[in-house]
Amino acid sequence: MKRERLVVVGNGMAGLKLLEELQAACPGRYAVTVIGAEPEPAYNRVLLSSLLAGEASDEDIRFRDRAWYGANGFRLLTGVPARAIDRDRRRVELRDGRVAPYDKLVLATGSEAIRLPLPGADLPQVLVFRDHGDAMKLKALARPGARAVVIGGGLLGLEAAYGLALLGCETTVVHLMDRLMERQLDAQGAATLRRALEAKGVRFRLGAQSRRVTGDTAVEGLELADGEVLPCDMLVMACGVRPNVALGRAAGLAVQRGLVVDDGLATSADGVFALGECAEHRGVVYGLVAPAYEQARALAARLAGDPAAAYAGSLLSTNLKVSGVSVFSAGAIEAEPGDDALLLSDPGHGCYRKLIVRDDRLTGAILVGEASDALWYLDLIARAAPLGPLRDDLAFGRSFGAAA
C-alpha cells in the first residue's frame, strides 16, 4: 500500500517540531514534503536578537541540518514559498511552478511583521525584524555610532533595540503606549524593565506616536506626532506581527485573525491542518513558541492515528529573556476588585514580582529581572488549586513554596 502523502507548508519552529514529534510518534508512516520559504532550514527564531547582538552564532541558532531531514525521510524544499493550495486536486503549488500533492496538508506559515504605512516608510533603511534575513540587514547597517530608532516597545522591538545597542548604535525606542510590553507587564514591572534597559544604553520615548519618516533618499529621522524629530540613520518597525493567512484564505479556509482550527488542529477544509502563529484556536492566536510546540505534539499524535489527541489551548504566558532581562508574564496583569496582589520589588537590582491571587488561587504572575520560577508559577495558575498556606511564601518562589 502506498504511503499517505503529508505536506507541511512552513519550516519554522512549529513546523520542525511537528516533524520531530511525527518522527517519534509514527516514523515512516507518511511521505512528508516540507516547504520552506526561507533559504535555510528551520532555525531558532527566539535567538535572532542574540544573533543580531553577536551573542549567538549561526551555528548556535541552528536546529537540524539538511541531512537529518533526509535521514528521517522528510523531503525538504527551501527558498520556495508556496503560491496556492488546490484543494480539489489536493496539491500545493509552489512559486517556482512545482507542485506537491498531498493526502494531508499542514499549514505552519507563521506570521509576518507589520509595517506601519508611514510616509517615507519605503526608504531602504526602514526595516522590520522578523527573520534571519532581517537580522542580517540590520547587522549590516548597525555600525558603531549609527543612530537607530525602533518603533515598538513590545518584545520584538526591545530585542531589536538591545541588539542594536550592543552593536554600538545609539538606540531609541519609540512606543505608542506609556509603558513597555503593556500586554504582558503592569506599570511597575514595565518601569523595572525600562530601567534595566536604560542601564544597558537604550533610550525611550513612551506615549509617542510616529508621524512620518524624514529623508529623501535615505532615512534621516522619525518625526513624531508632537512635531519632534528623532534623527536617525536607520529605523526598525517592530509594531507587531500578523498571521500569514493569505495562502489559506485564498484556498477558502475559514479565517478570522488566523486560520481557524479545532482542538484537533483541523481547519475548515478536509485534510488540512494548521498550527503555530498562523493558527487561531478557540479565538486565540498564539505568538509564542510554547503553545506551538504543544500544538505540534497534539497534531502529531492525531496524524499518528490517535483520534482523541487534542489541543485544549495554552495558558497565555510570556517567558523570555528580553534583551538580557528575564521577563515572565502569565494570566492576569492587574488585580481587579477583590483580587489580592503580592509584590516583591528590588528596583536597585531590577527585580520585580507581582502575583495576583483571586479566591485563594493564583491567577496572574509577572516576573521581571529574575524569572527562574516562571514555570512553577505557570503551573500554579494552570492548576488553579487553592493556595492555602503556600500563599505566604508564594512570592519567594519554588524553593520556598515547595516546603510550605
Partner 1 sequence: MNMRAPDPGPVRTTCPYCGVGCGVLATPDHLGGATIAGDREHPSNFGRLCSKGSALGETLALDGRLLHPEIDGRRVSWDDALDETASGFRRVLDAHGPGAIAIYLSGQLLTEDYYAANKLFKGFLGSANVDTNSRLCMSSSVAGHKRAFGSDTVPGTYRDLETADLLVFVGSNAAWCHPVLHQRMLAARAARGTRFVVIDPRGTATSEEADLHLPIASGTDAILFSGLLVALAERGAVFASYVADHTEGFDAALIRARELAPSVDAVAAACGVEAAKVAAFYDLFAATERAVTLYSQGVNQSAQGTDKVGAILNVHLATGRIGREGMGPFSLTGQPNAMGGREVGGLANTLAAHMEFDAESIEKVRRFWGAPRMARAPGLKAVEMFEAIGRGEIKALWVMGTNPAASLPRADAVSTALRKLDLFVVSENVASNDTVNAGARIRLPAAAWGEKDGTVTNSERRISRQRPFLALPGQARPDWWAVAQVGRRLGFEDAFGWRTPGEVFREHAALSAFENDGTRDFDIGALAGLDTRDYDQLRPTQWPARQSAVRDETRFFAKGGYFTPNRRARFVAVAPITPGAGTDDAYPYRLNTGRVRDQWHTMTRTGKSPRLGSHLPEPFLEIHPDDAAREGVADGGFARVTSPHGAVVLRAKVDPGARRGAPFAPIHWTGETSSSGRVGALVHAVTDPFSGQPDAKATPVAVAPVSFPLQGFALARSGLGGLDAAAWWAKAAAPGGHGLLFALAAEPEVAALFPHMAPDDELVEYVDAARRVRRIAMFRNGALEACLFVGPARPESSWTYLRDKLGARLTDGQVRGLLLAGRASDGAATGPLVCACHGVPKGEIERAIASGCGDAAAVGAATRAGTNCGSCLPEIRRMLAAQRVVVEA
Contacts with partner 1, residue ranges (CB under 8 A): 44, 46-47, 50, 56-57, 60, 63, 289-290, 293, 319-321, 326, 328, 340-349, 351, 353, 357, 370-376, 391-393, 395-400, 402-403
CB of 107 to partner 1, least distance (A): 22
> Between residues 42 and 208, which has the closer beta carbon with respect to partner 1?
42
> Between residues 61 and 255, which has the closer beta carbon with respect to partner 1?
61
DSSP characters over 42-93: PB-GGGHHHHHHTSS-HHHHB---HHHHHHTTEEEEES--EEEEETTTTEEE
> Between residues 117 and 389, which has the closer beta carbon with respect to partner 1?
389
Asked if 329 and 317 count as a contact pair (C-beta separation under 8 A), the reply is yes
Reported as type and span, the H/E element at residue 19 is helix 13-25
If we measure between CA atoms, which residue out of 166, 197, 240 comes closest to residue 368?
197
Q: Taking the CA atoms of the chain, what radius of gyration do you get in angstroms? A: 22
CB of 336 to partner 1, least distance (A): 13
> Between residues 80 and 341, which has the closer beta carbon with respect to partner 1?
341
CB of 396 to partner 1, least distance (A): 4
CB of 35 to partner 1, least distance (A): 23
If we measure between CA atoms, which residue out of 115, 106, 101 comes closest to residue 248?
106
CB of 252 to partner 1, least distance (A): 34
> Between residues 205 and 353, which has the closer beta carbon with respect to partner 1?
353
Rounded to whole angstroms, the Cα distance separating 36 from 289 reads: 18
CB of 272 to partner 1, least distance (A): 27
**Residue 256 class from Cβ within 10 Å (0-12 exposed, 13-18 middle, 19+ buried)?**
exposed
> Between residues 186 and 373, which has the closer beta carbon with respect to partner 1?
373
Rounded to whole angstroms, the Cα distance separating 286 from 257 reads: 11
Question: In angstroms, how far is the first alpha carbon of the chain from the final one?
Answer: 59
In order of 95, 260, 284, 318, the CA distances from 313 in angstroms are 33, 13, 8, 15
> Between residues 125 and 192, which has the closer beta carbon with respect to partner 1?
192
If we measure between CA atoms, which residue out of 89, 90, 88 comes closest to residue 102?
90
CB of 247 to partner 1, least distance (A): 26
Contacts of 138 (CB under 8 A, 6+ apart): 52, 127, 129, 160, 163, 164, 234, 236
Asked if 35 and 10 count as a contact pair (C-beta separation under 8 A), the reply is yes
List, in sequence order, every residue forming a beta bridge with 157; answer none if it has no partner.
none
CB of 221 to partner 1, least distance (A): 34
> Between residues 205 and 297, which has the closer beta carbon with respect to partner 1?
297
